[in-house]
C-alpha cells in the first residue's frame, strides 16, 4: 500500500460563538505541543498555526494511519468591532480556546433621554420671522 504525505496545511475543526461581550473560538488540536501553537493578529486577520510532527517509525509497516501530522492552519477576518489588543488564548485537554473581546464602541449601551433641553440632534423650535410693512 503506497502512502503519500501531503505538505499542505490541514484545517483544525473549530466552534465559534458569541458569549455576551466576547467571541469564543474553540479549536480541536489533540496531541499538539502547546509550544508549537502560534497565534498572530495582523490588522483584522487572525491566524492560528500549530504543528504535529510525524513520529519517527523506522522499520514499521503501517496498517492504518489516520492521525494527521504536519502543520494545521486557520485564518479568520475579524470585524472592526473587536478588541484585537486584548485577545487571549488557553490550551487544555487538546482544545485551544481563543477569547476575542468585543470593542467598547460595539457593546450595547443605554441612551439617556433628556427633556426640555435642545441638543445638536434635536434643535429648538424654529423662530417665526416678523412681517415688515413697506413704507408708503
41-87 residue pLDDT tens: 999 999 999 998 888 788 888 888 888 888 899 999 998 899 999 99
Mean pLDDT of the chain: 82
Q: Is the dihedral of CA 105, 108, 114, 118 positive or negative?
A: positive
- Tell whether the model's pLDDT for residue 135 goes beyond 60: no
* Cα distances (Å, whole numbers) of residue 65 to 27, 57, 95: 22, 12, 22
pLDDT attached to residue 1 = 36
Among 30-34, 41-45, 107-111, which is the least confidently predicted range?
Answer: 107-111
CB 28 within 8 A of CB 12: yes
pLDDT attached to residue 61 = 87
Q: Yes or no: is domain 17-54+68-106 CATH 2.60.40.790?
A: yes
Residue scoring higher pLDDT (109 or 15): 15
Question: Could you state, in order of their start, the residue ranges of all structural domains in the chain?
Answer: 17-54+68-106
Distance in angstroms (rounded) separating the CA atoms of residues 29 and 97 = 10
Helix (H, G, I), strand (E, B) or coil at 125: coil
Amino acid at each position: 500500500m503506497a502512502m503519500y504525505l501531503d505538505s499542505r496545511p490541514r484545517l483544525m475543526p473549530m466552534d465559534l460563538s458569541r458569549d455576551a461581550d466576547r467571541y469564543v473560538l474553540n479549536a480541536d488540536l489533540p496531541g499538539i505541543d502547546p509550544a508549537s501553537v502560534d497565534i498572530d493578529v495582523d490588522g483584522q486577520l487572525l491566524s492560528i498555526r500549530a504543528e504535529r510532527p510525524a513520529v519517527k517509525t523506522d522499520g514499521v509497516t503501517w496498517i492504518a494511519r489516520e492521525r494527521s501530522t504536519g502543520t494545521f492552519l486557520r485564518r479568520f477576518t475579524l470585524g472592526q468591532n473587536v478588541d484585537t489588543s486584548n485577545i487571549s488564548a488557553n490550551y487544555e485537554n487538546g482544545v485551544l480556546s481563543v477569547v476575542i473581546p468585543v470593542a467598547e464602541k460595539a457593546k450595547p449601551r443605554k441612551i439617556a433621554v433628556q427633556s426640555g433641553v435642545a441638543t445638536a440632534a434635536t434643535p429648538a423650535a424654529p423662530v417665526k420671522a416678523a412681517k415688515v410693512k413697506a413704507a408708503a
